[in-house]
Amino acid sequence: LIRKRKVFGAGWGGIAVPIRTANETIGVIIVGIKQPRSIEEGYIRLLTTIAEIAGNAMYRSNLFDKNEEQIRRLTTLREIDTAITSSLDLRITLNIILEYLLTKMGVSAARFLIFNLDTQMLDTLASSGFQNQESAQLSFNIGEGFATQILLNRKALYIKEFNSESNQLDSENFLSYYALPLSSKGTTKGVLEIYFKETFTPNADWIDFVHTLAGQATITIDNSQLFENLQRTNQELSLAYDTTLEGWGKALELRDKETQGHTQRVTNLTLELAQQVGIPDFQLIHIRRGALLHDIGKMGVPDSILRKPGALTEEEMNEMRKHPQYAYDLLYPIPYLRPAVDIPYCHHEWWNGNGYPRGLKGEAIPLSARIFAIVDVWDALLSDRPYRKAWKQNDVLDYILNLSGKQFEPRVVDEFQKILRSDSKMIQIYSYK
């Protein structure tokens, strides 16, 4: 309690009562009383009680504000977590963080910079709050700017006030700066830069939450880079597999004495006809692989039969007809090739049920095999074989038309004719004729 005249001025006295919370003094109530009025003890107790009530109210209000802020922060973290788990687009998550920084944390501008291993540069991946596009999309060579210092030192950097020499963005009129590394598992992925147009002094809560947001951003970057690496590895592996399949196809041509390029020609034309028939694009890769491996089962047929120049005996023909089953036994156990097994297994089935190996009929035959059956006969009859000369295109087409509804599905035959009449690719495929 303060009753000294020098505090209140001549002719005045008064009381000053501290406003306290459980841990600290947060204010004071000052009441001036004109002398010679005396200050009664009851009056002092009343003011003390009022100060206690005010202290409790201010404490609860401050606690409420802190709780509200915590709820906002938790909500933001929840939104970020949802973005991480529901989207593979890195920028969606980073933009959520940037929006929160600018709208809830008093930030004027911010950006995420990612280190590019190929170019050895820090590139802006997402930014917000900058006045001009050049500032928003900056890239830095190693050794340039504060961001690369943070990348190399792996420590946060705070600048209370830029001077004329240190301000990297004079045109933006920024005054304060805070930046921190985006680090994960001992590797720094990039940097989060935060700018203020007024002098800013961060407190411990602010720093803790900014580092939490940076941690979420780093998780997002990790996930994105992991997915990109998996995609790249999968593409490289798929390319290696398909190159191997092409090699198998060429090896089978050599063993079977087929015309050079037969496998590639029937593969290309089968894909063309499959698109004409309306097969979805995502299935074409399996059709391509099946076409490349259409005669893979002949690996199980003895050379004495496969390379025989003359007509086969009935016993030899029965052995030859086993090659679709050999293909199935070889390919089906391989999950990668299982979706491609229909063509090697079923392309000798007939629309009327007189084919082999299972005597399938009509639409019981997989569509990809129905398509390939026409293409295989077309290319085979147009090619020289040890036991006959190549046919003319018109003769081959007549042959296929005569077998429409018997060996071949009529609808697919009609679509094949459309390609022959209108598609310039046919000229390219069979230009060797």
Q: What percent of the chain has pLDDT over 70?
A: 84
Confidence band of 76 (pLDDT split at 50, 70, 90): low
Q: What percent of the chain has pLDDT over 90?
A: 40
Query: Phi/psi at 136 (nearest 5 deg)?
Result: -75, -20
Q: Which residue has the higher pLDDT, 267 or 82?
A: 267
Q: Which residue has the higher pLDDT, 314 or 50?
A: 314
pLDDT of residue 433: 41
Confidence band of 423 (pLDDT split at 50, 70, 90): low
Under 8 Å between Cβ of 108 and 135: no
Reading the block at residue 196, the tokens are 């203020």
Q: Say whether 213 sits in a helix, a strand or coil.
A: helix
pLDDT of residue 69: 63
Under 8 Å between Cβ of 176 and 92: no
Strand 157-159 and strand 176-184: pairing?
antiparallel
Above 70 in pLDDT, residue 87?
A: no
- Please, what is the average pLDDT of the chain? 84
Reading the block at residue 375, the tokens are 């293409």
pLDDT of residue 431: 45
Q: Which residue has the higher pLDDT, 84 or 131?
A: 131
Per-residue pLDDT tens over the stretch 241-299: 788 888 877 777 776 656 568 888 999 999 999 999 999 999 999 999 999 999 899 88
Mean per-residue pLDDT, 229-247: 80
Above 80 in pLDDT, residue 182?
A: yes
Strand 176-184 and strand 25-34: pairing?
unpaired
Domains along the chain? Answer: 5-55 (no CATH), 87-228 (3.30.450.40), 257-429 (1.10.3210.10)
In angstroms, rounded to a whole number, what is the distance separating the alpha carbons of residues 408 and 20?
Answer: 94
Q: Which residue has the higher pLDDT, 245 or 414?
A: 414
The alpha carbon dihedral of 253, 256, 259, 263 has a sign of negative
Per-residue pLDDT tens over the stretch 299-344: 888 888 888 877 889 999 999 999 999 999 999 998 889 999 999 9
Q: Which residue has the higher pLDDT, 65 or 92?
A: 92
Under 8 Å between Cβ of 147 and 113: yes
Mean per-residue pLDDT, 29-37: 73
Above 60 in pLDDT, residue 430?
A: no
pLDDT of residue 311: 82
Above 50 in pLDDT, residue 432?
A: no
Q: Which residue has the higher pLDDT, 351 or 420?
A: 351
Confidence band of 191 (pLDDT split at 50, 70, 90): very high
Q: Which residue has the higher pLDDT, 267 or 79?
A: 267
Mean per-residue pLDDT, 12-22: 76
Per-residue pLDDT tens over the stretch 260-272: 688 889 999 999 9
Mean per-residue pLDDT, 116-144: 88
pLDDT of residue 231: 80
- Tell me if the bond preceding 181 is cis, omega within 30° of 0: no
Above 80 in pLDDT, residue 222?
A: yes
Confidence band of 1 (pLDDT split at 50, 70, 90): very low
In angstroms, rounded to a whole number, what is the distance separating the alpha carbons of residues 171 and 173?
Answer: 6
Query: Phi/psi at 137 (nearest 5 deg)?
Result: -120, 30
